[in-house]
Amino acid sequence: MDSDGRKRAARDAELVTIGEFARLSRLSAKALRRYDELGLLRPALVDPVNGYRYYDRKQAGTARLVSWLRRIGMPLARIAEVTALDDAAAAAEIRAHWARVEAETAARRRLAAFLVDHLSAKENAVTTNDDGTGRGPATLGIRYAALAHPGSVRPVQQDTAYAGARLLAVADGFGAGGARASAAAVDALKPAARGAVDADDLLGVLQDAADDAAAAVCEAVAAGESPAESGTTLTALVWTGSRLGLVHIGDSRAYVLRGGELLRITHDDTLVRSMVDDGSLTEEEAASHPQRALLLKALAGDDGKPGSRPEVRLHDTLPGDRYLLCSDGLSAVVDEAALARAVVAADGPDTAVRDLVALAGDAGGPDNVSCVVADVVAL
């Protein structure tokens, strides 16, 4: 077919020139050429002789969608996926993308607030660890216990729970390499908790430990099957002797029991949590939502993804504090009131972890369950 023939064929098939299509889609020809180069929107026909691009009028909606998705900062590879979906699925993807953006912003906000507190506290340095007895600074220590149970349904144990004199950790692995991932994440933190850590250095030490955990998980799952679908959550506390450093990613949780009240000190990196935060779901709806297990962030095999770094934070401790770390095998099936009753009632960490694992078992034990309980005591 000669060039005139191709032009006629283009016209018959409702194809339009790039100039006409730019007008239809309200985008510039330059933007359209860029989308073509990026593989986001291919012309319906490219003249093999002169290279002219022709578009189908029906592509105008897709072109506008590409432009809007670029405006909300969606990565190019995601845009290509989303434009291939039907409207309902595309809406779900955009919601998930935005939830991730907000979770990352929230983590940065918390880190910024922590840094302000940390630097202000240094500025106004006073004796903060006096126990009020006039005998000088109190020496604090922790008593701890850890317990992991596969539950009644899952064929394998992919949770890891660990408690030592300077490290408390739970990790909930998923995918074919889940057990390796959770073990690697916890092991990677152990060197950071080997010796005394200066409270001033703690944040840097935690950040390095968090990066080590991310790299260790990546390496551990890369060797196994479906590395892209394997990974783990990680919630850990590193004890310095006066403060606790928190490392957290995913939907395992940390709580502190203080003054008779159980307070959650971690934020779930899940789609439903972000929907509760923005008011589009209630707590009750989130608890039964079909996608309630969907994580926005985790340590995973495909660690190139942005936003897969754990959050790190410092937490001041008081004698008498009792900490609980647990995987969703406990928190998803036992409500917080029942958790609080069990944590308050236990006479020590050993009893507490046994009672908590038993509660998950009473609820059917649908998932692996792991928990760590630690008491802060004056020595």
Beta strands in the chain (DSSP E): 15-17, 45-46, 53-56, 140-149, 159-163, 167-174, 231-232, 234-239, 243-249, 253-258, 261-264, 299-300, 311-316, 322-326, 369-378
Which residue from 224, 223, 228, 216 is spatially nearest to 301, judged by alpha carbons? 228
Per-residue burial over 339-355, b = 16 or more CB atoms within 10 Å of its CB, e = otherwise: bbebbeebeebeebbbb
CA distance 350 to 147: 9
Chain residues that interact with Mg ion, rule: CB under 5 A = 172, 327-329, 367
Least CB distance to Mg ion at residue 161 (A): 12
Q: Closer to Mg ion at the Cβ: 157 or 351?
A: 157
Which residue from 340, 338, 343 is spatially nearest to 354, judged by alpha carbons? 343
In a 13 Å sphere around the CA of 219, the CA atoms on its Cβ side amount to: 11
* Distance separating the N- and C-terminal Cα atoms of the chain: 91
Least CB distance to Mg ion at residue 210 (A): 20
Least CB distance to Mg ion at residue 332 (A): 7
Q: Closer to Mg ion at the Cβ: 245 or 329?
A: 329
Query: In a 3-state reduction of DSSP, which class is residue 171?
Result: strand
Least CB distance to Mg ion at residue 172 (A): 4
Least CB distance to Mg ion at residue 338 (A): 18
**Per-position DSSP letters for 98-166, written without gaps between them:** HHHHHHHHHHHHHHHHHHHHHHHHHHT-----B-SSSS-BPPEEEEEEEEEE--SS-SS--EEEEE-SS
Q: Closer to Mg ion at the Cβ: 83 or 327?
A: 327
Least CB distance to Mg ion at residue 292 (A): 11
CA distance 40 to 33: 10
Q: Closer to Mg ion at the Cβ: 172 or 212?
A: 172
The dihedral region occupied by 319, where left means phi > 0, alpha psi between -120 and 50, and beta the remainder, is: beta
Least CB distance to Mg ion at residue 370 (A): 8
Calculate the alpha carbon distances from 196 to 102, 128, 234, 237, 243 in Å.
35, 19, 22, 14, 11
Q: Closer to Mg ion at the Cβ: 59 or 327?
A: 327
Least CB distance to Mg ion at residue 368 (A): 6
CA distance 254 to 236: 8
Least CB distance to Mg ion at residue 53 (A): 50
Q: Closer to Mg ion at the Cβ: 274 or 327?
A: 327
Q: Closer to Mg ion at the Cβ: 171 or 312?
A: 171
Q: Closer to Mg ion at the Cβ: 232 or 274?
A: 232
Number of residues written out for the chain:
379
Q: Closer to Mg ion at the Cβ: 140 or 161?
A: 161
